[in-house]
């Protein structure tokens, strides 16, 4: 069992997906083409921001359900706080684009949204989406995906408060596994 974007196991994720550690999770100036994993703590978002402003980044999301079926979503464009003067103050707005994959796109609707946590309400809802759906995410009003939701182990009767990727498994199925990874986009002129 693994919810990869959670901080406590992010190092395992890195180990699995990367053979070059580059001195740590989010070292700036690391030019390897390996994915690094996400940390969703404020410090993690800060580091992702610092990374993603260095160049063009892509995002890959891998998902698995309790039948061991897997699916992925790839976004050829990714960034956090790309246009922010003070990204922390600005709520680390998400930039995603260029979807491909077989999980369906459940993130583009979050494009441009700020990161909402229980104590920082940056969403477009009257409620705090993070409190309401027990996650922390770039909520709009509120979500089509909730990968930091609760680990509810598959089908659940509550609504949209698990680890949901709605275009693949709807709003009442909490996934067994999810992993978000970013890496620099290959420069087509520099193969
Ligand atoms: C899923 O994979 C695990 C580990 O390989 C295995 O033990 C389990 O039986 C599989 N479950 C299904 C539904 O195939």
2-3/154-155 β-pairing: unpaired
- As a whole number, mean pLDDT of residues 126-143 equals 93
Give Cβ neighbours of residue 79 (< 8 Å, ≥ 6 apart).
Answer: 49, 52, 53, 57, 94, 95
Pairs from 115-119 (Cβ < 8 Å, separation ≥ 24):
115/45, 115/80, 115/91, 116/91
Q: How far is the CA of 154 from the centre of ligand 1 (A)?
A: 14
Model pLDDT, residue 37: 45
Give the global pTM: 0.81
- Whole-number Å distance between alpha carbons of 182 and 50: 13
For the segment 139-158, what is each residue's pLDDT rounded down to a tens digit? 999 999 998 888 889 999 99
Tokens of 14: 């890195």
Q: How far is the CA of 68 from the centre of ligand 1 (A)?
A: 6
Q: In this predicted model, which residue has the larger pLDDT, 9 or 69?
A: 69
First-residue to last-residue Cα distance in the chain = 37
- Whole-number Å distance between alpha carbons of 93 and 62: 22
Ligand 1: lining residues by beta carbon, under 6 Å: 67-68
pLDDT greater than 60 at residue 32: no
Domains of the chain, CATH where assigned: 42-184 (3.90.215.10)
Q: How far is the CA of 107 from the centre of ligand 1 (A)?
A: 28
Q: How far is the CA of 67 from the centre of ligand 1 (A)?
A: 7
Mapped onto helix, strand or coil, the DSSP state of residue 127 is coil
Contact 170, 55 (CB under 8 A): no
For the segment 162-181, what is each residue's pLDDT rounded down to a tens digit? 999 999 999 999 998 887 77
Which amino acid residue places its CA nearest to atom 2 of ligand 1?
A: 68
Q: In this predicted model, which residue has the larger pLDDT, 28 or 37?
A: 37
What number does the ligand 1 atom closest to the CA of 68 have? Answer: 1
Contact 18, 146 (CB under 8 A): no
pLDDT greater than 70 at residue 12: no
Q: Which of 2, 68, 70, 176 to mutate to test the pocket of ligand 1 (most atoms within 8 A of CB)?
A: 68
For the segment 41-52, what is each residue's pLDDT rounded down to a tens digit? 556 677 788 878
What number does the ligand 1 atom closest to the CA of 67 have? Answer: 13
For the segment 70-126, what is each residue's pLDDT rounded down to a tens digit? 999 999 999 999 999 999 899 999 999 999 999 999 999 999 999 888 888 999 999
């Amino acid at each position: 069992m693994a919810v990869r974007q959670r901080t406590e196991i992010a190092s395992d994720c890195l180990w699995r997906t990367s053979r070059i550690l580059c001195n740590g999770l989010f070292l700036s100036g690391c030019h390897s083409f390996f994915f690094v994993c996400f940390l969703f703590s404020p410090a993690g978002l800060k580091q992702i921001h610092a990374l993603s402003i260095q160049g063009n980044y892509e995002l890959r999301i891998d998902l698995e359900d309790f039948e061991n079926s897997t699916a992925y979503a790839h976004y050829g464009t990714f960034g956090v706080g790309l246009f922010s003067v003070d990204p922390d103050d600005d709520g680390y707005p998400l930039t995603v684009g260029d979807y491909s994959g077989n999980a369906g796109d459940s993130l583009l609707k979050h494009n441009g949204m700020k990161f909402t946590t229980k104590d920082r309400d940056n969403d477009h809802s009257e409620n705090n989406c993070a409190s309401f759906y027990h996650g922390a995410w770039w909520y709009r009003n509120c979500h089509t995906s909730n990968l930091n939701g609760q680990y509810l182990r598959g089908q659940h009767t509550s609504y949209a408060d698990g680890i949901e990727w709605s275009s693949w498994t709807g709003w009442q199925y909490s996934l067994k596994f999810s992993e978000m990874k970013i890496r620099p986009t290959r420069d087509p002129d520099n193969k």
